[in-house]
Chain A
Amino acid sequence: MNHFQKKILSLTLAGCVSTFILGGIVAQAETKKEDKSKEREPIVVINKDPYPSSYKPFHSVATLIKNATVLTGKGDQIDQASVLMEQGKIVAVGKDLKTPDGAVVIDASGKWVTPGIIDVHSHLGVYASPSHKSLSDGNEATKPVTADVWAEHSVWPQDPGFSRAIAGGVTTLQILPGSANLIGGRGITVKNVPSRSAEGMKFPDAPYSLKMACGENPKRVYGEKGGPSTRMANMAGYRKAWIKAQEYMDKWDTYNRDYKAGKDVTAPSQDLELDTLMGVLKGEILIHNHCYRADEMVSMINMAREFNYSISTFHHAVESYKIADILAEEKICSAMWSDWWGFKLEAFDGVDENIPMVAAAKACAVVHSDDENGIQRLNQDAAKAWADGTKIGINFTKAEAFSWITLNAATALGIADKTGSLDAGKMADVVIWSGDPFSVYTLAEKVFIDGALMYDRNDPDTYWQSDFELGQNKKGAHQ
């Protein structure tokens, strides 16, 4: 390490320390000083964003894509249409758009254009390739409630899987902890871009999520390690956690109220686990709940009512078709596979029409992957589900079905105001497909994230390669 590098390192370390001090609990240290001066201590506020996104959009130029078949992501198809992107944003979509001076024009005759695909359930980076024990960082399977862990601190941005996903048109993904635990920790929503750190991919201003898991997995993992070993103990485990979280929230609410009333009060000590659970109770952190069986989903809904929080999305949800009416009423999304079933007893009742049946009940339907291979072809999974629905008379248009992997996914993640459809002002996360994305023969050709061309199948200069693969594989040889 040369001198310059050392200096950079020490600056970086100093940066970390100052962030930490701003981070909250160190305010205790200031208390003593203020006691002496008899001035009132400042109110203690927990920093809710101690690891902020450092993502910066890549270089983009104004781009007009013309003559395309456009699926807007919110259910519309526009033929022979143009999409205009400028400064990283969608400017307009329509028939007769003018080309701004200096804009790159792409003739997309015969091609289809859609919003970038959003996968709400991925373990890229936390269960990276190569699938080696040293890269197995997705389940903190040491106790059933680990609301204190954050997936972003496990994400290995060099996972070769990210480069495979971009070739499948995936522009945004949520990386979740695994499902070993009742409450497994926070998820992170990222932009699918090459980065040296997870923070560098972090989707700006996306809400945090909390992974919970129903059913077999926690039972299996903890059945002989002190429990839970039954579904009733699963429920007891969640409820105990929420009761503690309510007490913690009450303490902070009391502290804040008393402080504002001018009382001399000491802030509660910070608890990482309860911070996250309190975030859910306050509606700031979204629940993403691994849950297969209909009856268990209903129990989870009842529990959310008991503790007055809401559930964003049931994941896997192979039995959502049995309670689609309830899910519609509760406004809870289901993130589903197109066809996985039978790999365990709680997945035995999976049906191929789950997704269209949920959508037909006007509940929020999302197609997810939970798989480093499946994430590369979510358009085909949406197509498969769409076709299975059509075959039994559930008639959605392709444009409507495409919302299952775009706008509905963005809704599940709480980022529908920023991406997920080709509305003016939203992030220019856009895919140009070689043809109809409902065909097995169609491939993503160009993928834009915030208006920047991140991947072009016809231009090897745009292929990414992770550090891991460097010198072992020719760049792009995998595709």
Chain B
Amino acid sequence: MRQLLLKILIGASFAALLMGTMVQAQEKSKILAIRGGTVHTLGDKGMLTNATILIEDGKIKAVGQNITIPENADIIDATGKIIVPGFMHSGSQLGLSEISMTDDSNEHSGKGSDFSAAFDVRYGLKSNSVVIADNRRLGLTSAITQPSESDGIFYGSSAVISLTSDADMFVSKGPMVAVLANGGNRNVAWGKIRLILDQVIYYDQNRSRVMKGEGPKDFLLSHYNMDALVGVVKGKQKLVLNLDSQDDLRQAIALKRKYNLDLIISGASEAWKVADELAAAKIPVVIYPNDDLPYNFGKLGASLHNAALLEMAGVEFAIASDGMGTNHNAAQINRMAGLAVAHGVSWQRALEAITISPARIFGVEGSLGSIEKGKLAHIVLWDADPLEVTSRPDYVIVNGVNHPLVSRRTLLRDRYMGLNKKPFAYH
């Protein structure tokens, strides 16, 4: 009996090894060298052919063409591979949902609770997520993971995560997320946002009076939800505001000006119509390049050329995917970037829009977004052009760990590929 139990446990740890959780301890202390590939650094060094990358303690130790590989290093031969930073999703639910439409595997919404701005995704993150493992094998290595809903305009705080499947997945607190369309009609929503921000400023400056019951009592948000917005009104926490129409984009520009917010717009279907104004206001946007249908009146001008026109106007933008592309198919952002290229964006800019641009937009360019010395080693070796729909990663390195390209889905595939040899359940 004991022997059997031991066997099962060994089996279990082998499975864990496959899923990439135990690999970490083994490899982190050793130097990993990647040599021979074409590296798009997305940093000052630009593109390097036949380059070498050294990785130590989860970080990039060196990158360049004349780098000596230490004797004890593990070496990956990257000849013929295209090497890019791991891709970063600018608005996912990764780590917050295993299977949509199930009650007990979804942690991304504060709806029905008293939390709106006070909701914070960091406490419900799931590290050993099959969704994370699957998106990692497809080249996605980091993400903004964010709340999806609440009973008000403010949805709560997001997180920047690494797709590690381990305790080191949490990188930092992310921006506050708000969705204009959840605030009622546009007049009500804009009125509420402004009033809430005014009230938060008052509350923050007069906290002791408020606590004593002096001054106004009818705040739109509860004290704890206002507490969560103090960082936003002080410009210390970024605010992602989701909206689409050119009129709302102009309102957002005015809002930023009045409250001096560190503002990011997501959605932004009609951003191309006000691209110069966005550039002047230095407001970055997160867009979906397949957005071309008038789903509602804010999206009448949705266009496949949005990204190209934003590039021309000099607006900072990141490319993301929505719907199924926020979680289970989040790794498809490379295809979205490719689609933007098909509709006029330069290849380099499209690649930036899923690597260094989101890192900059979300304030994590010190640790993510490019292959440069000192950054977290998020590096993917592709078999061909990484924006191409037919290309696949051959190696995926996250926080310095070379993860096997295995997920529950590939295990299912392999199980049924052998259908004729052995009954499926015995694989």
Contact = CB atoms under 8 A, between A and B. Distances in A.
A285 to B, nearest CB: 31
Interface in B387-419: 387-392, 409-410, 412-413, 416-417, 419
Interface string B310-328: 0000000000000110011
B99 A344 contact: yes
Given A440-B338, A468-B294, 6 more contacts: A164-B293, A322-B419, A380-B335, A384-B335, A384-B389, A392-B413
Contact of B300 (A132, A322, A473): A473
Contacts of A383: 389-390
Interface in B225-256: none
Contacts of B294: 129-130, 160, 468-469, 472-473
Interface stretch (A7-15, A89-97, A276-284, A334-342): A334-342
Interface in A314-353: 321-322, 325, 339-345, 348-353
Contacts of B391: 387
A342 B332 CA distance: 15
Interface of A: 129-132, 160-161, 164, 216, 321-322, 325, 339-345, 348-353, 357, 372-373, 376-377, 380, 383-384, 386-388, 391-392, 438-443, 468-469, 472-473, 477-479
Given A131-B295, A342-B131, A342-B328, A479 B388 contact: no
A342 B389 contact: no
A180 to B, nearest CB: 14
Given A342-B328, A343-B101, A473-B300, A439 B392 contact: no
10 contacts: A129-B294, A322-B419, A341-B328, A342-B328, A345-B102, A348-B99, A351-B413, A380-B389, A387-B390, A479-B292
Contacts of B417: 353, 357, 392
Best-surrounded residue of B332, B388, B412 (most CB of chain A within 10 A) = B412
Interface stretch (B52-60, B147-155, B275-283, B301-309): B301-309
A16 B217 CA distance: 66
Contacts of A479: 292, 303-305, 343
A439 B295 contact: no
A321 B300 contact: no
A97 B183 CA distance: 63
Nearest to B272: A477
Interface string B175-198: 000000000000000000000000
A322 B297 contact: no
Contacts of A440: 335, 338-339, 341-342, 387-389
Contacts of A443: 342
B413 A438 contact: no
Contact of A342 (B100, B296, B301, B303): B100
Contacts of A472: 294, 300
A325 B290 CA distance: 36
A135 to B, nearest CB: 11
Contacts of B301: 473, 477
B101 A340 contact: no
Interface in B125-144: 131
B102 A344 contact: yes
Nearest to A472: B300
B118 to A, nearest CB: 28
A357 B99 contact: no
Nearest to B302: A478
Nearest to A352: B409
B332 A339 contact: yes
B143 to A, nearest CB: 16
Contact of A164 (B292, B335, B339, B387): B292
B329 interface: yes
B287 to A, nearest CB: 14
Best-surrounded residue of B300, B327, B341 (most CB of chain A within 10 A) = B300
Contact of A321 (B99, B335, B413): B413
Contact of B388 (A130, A339, A342, A439): A439
Contact of B413 (A353, A376, A469): A353
Interface string B262-296: 00000000000000000000000000001011111
Contacts of A441: 338, 341-342, 388
Best-surrounded residue of B324, B341, B389 (most CB of chain A within 10 A) = B389
Interface string B337-360: 011011100000000000000000
Closest 4 CB pairs of A and B: A440-B338, A387-B390, A342-B328, A344-B101
Best-surrounded residue of B102, B131, B292, B332 (most CB of chain A within 10 A) = B292
Contacts of B372: none
Contacts of A340: 324, 328-329
A442 B413 CA distance: 30
A129 B298 CA distance: 12
Contacts of A342: 98-100, 131, 327-328
A344 B341 CA distance: 32
A325 B424 CA distance: 14
Given A129-B293, A342-B327, A322 B341 contact: no
A441 B98 CA distance: 32
Given A129-B295, A130-B297, A325-B419, A439 B389 contact: yes
A357 B418 CA distance: 11
B303 A372 contact: no
B409 A351 contact: yes
A127 B388 CA distance: 31
Nearest to B394: A391
Contact of A391 (B101, B388, B392): B392
B102 A341 contact: no
Nearest to B336: A440
Contacts of A164: 292-293
A313 to B, nearest CB: 21
A376 B323 CA distance: 16
Nearest to B137: A352
Nearest to A443: B342
Contacts of B290: 373, 376-377
B100 A344 contact: yes
Nearest to B101: A344
A131 B296 contact: yes
Contact of A357 (B131, B297, B303, B416): B416
Given A344-B100, A473-B301, A161 B390 contact: no
Contacts of B304: 478-479
A123 to B, nearest CB: 13
Contacts of B335: 380, 384, 440
